[in-house]
């Protein structure tokens, strides 16, 4: 697992799963489709595609979506 500086909440520690209400969509790649999601509890960033989801560092998220504000 990546060396993340922020502390994950109990849900994100387990992975990208319910309760999905905790996630806020902050960026979209229309032709993916792929989504950058942020957990409202701990602030973890998740990159979701049709087939998988993985946690990303803020620096990586900014490379993928330079227009976002974190």
Please give the size of the binding site for Zn ion, defined by CB under 5 A.
6
How many other C-beta atoms can be found within 10 angstroms of the C-beta atom of residue 46?
A: 18
When binding is defined by CB under 5 A, the residue of 44, 46, 47, 56 that contacts Zn ion is 44
Stretch that binds Zn ion, among 1-9, 25-33, 45-53, 57-65 (CB under 5 A): 1-9
When binding is defined by CB under 5 A, the residue of 27, 42, 62, 64 that contacts Zn ion is 42
Q: Write down the H helix ranges in 2-69.
A: 10-14, 58-64
CB of 45 to Zn ion, least distance (A): 10
Residue 61 to residues 19, 28: CA-CA distances in angstroms? Answer: 22, 11
Output the six-digit token pair for 54: 């993985």
- Most distant CA pair in the chain, distance: 32
Residue 45 is a binding residue for Zn ion (CB under 5 A): no
Residues in contact with Zn ion by CB under 5 A are 9, 12, 39, 41-42, 44
């Amino acid at each position: 697992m990546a060396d993340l500086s922020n502390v994950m909440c109990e849900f994100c520690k387990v992975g990208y799963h319910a309760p999905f209400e905790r996630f806020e969509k902050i960026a979209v790649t229309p032709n993916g489709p792929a989504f950058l999601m942020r957990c409202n509890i701990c602030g973890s960033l998740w990159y979701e595609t049709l087939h998988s989801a993985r946690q990303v560092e803020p620096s990586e998220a900014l490379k993928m979506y330079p227009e976002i504000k974190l």
